[in-house]
Amino acid sequence: MTTALALFSGGLDSLLACRVIQNQGIKVKALKFVSPFFDYDLLVRQDEYCSEIFTRYGIDVELIDISAPFLQMLAAPAHGYGKNFNPCVDCKILLVSTAKGLMAHYDASFLITGEVVGQRPMSQRQDTLRIIERESNTDGILLRPLCCRALKKTKAEELGLIDPDALPHFYGRNRTPQIELAAQLGITDFPSPAGGCILTEPLRGGRMRALYNLHQPHLLTPDNTRFLLQGRQYRFPSGAWLSLGRNEAENDHIESLQMEKDLIIRAAADRPGPSGLLRFSQGLADYELAAAIVACYLKKNDARIQEMQVINHGGQSHLLKVEPAGPEEIEALRW
Ligand code: SF4
């Protein structure tokens, strides 16, 4: 049986691309790429996610963590950034090239994506689709089943592996034809098209830009990126970083990111308030500054001196008494 390897975002278009190719008797193996900027949390529930997609949509999906090459590409994308820090064209080139490198492993004859010509202003223009093919070396093997009738023929069509006339012919931003096709295929519970790539957000995308502008390549790791994408962020004169949760869920998440040398800082005696995670600290002055910032956000911080806990990776806790930092001092340290 012929196999196609699909780039699967989980959005409606990629679902439809997989299903219309499956309907032509082709086995589809779907790859869902994750990075700290999109869908990284799926890694902790990988099996659950994959079986959910299979049960709901009949699609055999596998997660691929693309963090390391993505972080490298993000430093200098050849085609630049979009409105924020999103390098969409280079992102697509990276994902397609990586999928191409996996074709032999899955014994796949061609690749598919859910792209639709004209759907997005930059990354899905016809000339951009050609650039993606050319620069990922996938000319002739990358099929876009939702709009292939408007594009140059690929080998899958030339060899008669698929029948292009039985495929949809979508164009542009109108989503109605996709929704109608989904209904015909019995897909009713598809995710909303507003996908979540953090790099398109002004605030967190801007924070990533600031990280890259430090020109310190050793800092560009998935762990540091995940740290910076959570909560309120502060950078100390010593070079230490502090992340502060803004609610209970964020506090839990921030604490779960603790690495060997990181310190968790929160109020003593289980008082309600934020958790802080301190990374790259240089010693007592950083602990005190971090504790003073966390103390400033405690619910009832009217006491002049607050007692705070500093907890290391082994769970050992030390008490520190600090005066809460003032708003101006805090603001000056924001990323
Ligand atoms: S929005 Fe993010 S995930 Fe999507 S193409 Fe652009 S950089 Fe890649």
Which residue reads 């959005």 in tokens?
Answer: 11
| Pairs from 148-156 (Cβ < 8 Å, separation ≥ 24) | 150/117, 150/126, 151/117, 151/126, 154/110, 155/109, 155/110, 156/4, 156/109, 156/110
Residue type, 248: E
* pLDDT tens per residue, range 210-260: 999 999 999 999 999 999 999 999 999 999 999 999 999 999 999 999 999
- Tell how far the Cα of 218 is from the centroid of ligand 1, in angstroms: 24
**Every domain of the chain and the residues it spans:** 3-184, 230-332
pTM: 0.92
* Stretch among 194-203, 287-296, 302-311 having the lowest mean pLDDT: 194-203
Ligand 1 pocket member 91 (CB < 6 A):
yes
**Does residue 150 register a pLDDT over 80?**
yes
- The tens digit of pLDDT for each residue in 16-66 reads 999 999 999 999 999 999 999 999 999 999 999 999 999 999 999 999 999
Compute the distance from residue 195 Cα to the ligand 1 centre, in Å.
Answer: 9
pLDDT at 125: 84
In this prediction, residue 333 carries a pLDDT of 96
To test the ligand 1 pocket, which listed residue (200, 201, 209) has its Cβ within 8 A of the most ligand atoms? 200
Torsion angles phi and psi, residue 307, rounded to 5: -100, 125
Q: 264 pLDDT exceeds 60? A: yes
- Does ligand 1 lie within 6 Å of residue 84's CB atom? no
User: Using one digit for the tens of pLDDT, what is the confidence trace for 302-318?
Assistant: 778 999 999 999 999 99
Q: How far is the CA of 92 from the centre of ligand 1 (A)?
A: 7
Q: Does the CB atom of residue 200 touch ligand 1 within 6 A? A: yes
Nearest protein Cα to ligand 1, atom 6? 88
pLDDT tens-digit profile of 151-180? Answer: 999 999 999 999 999 999 998 888 899 999
User: Sheet holding 241-244: strands in order across?
Assistant: 232-235, 241-244, 276-279, 263-267, 306-311, 317-322
- 123 Cα to the center of ligand 1, angstroms: 9
3-184 CATH, one of 3.40.50.620, 3.40.1380.20, 3.30.420.40, 3.20.20.370? 3.40.50.620
Beta carbon of 86 within 6 Å of any ligand 1 atom:
yes
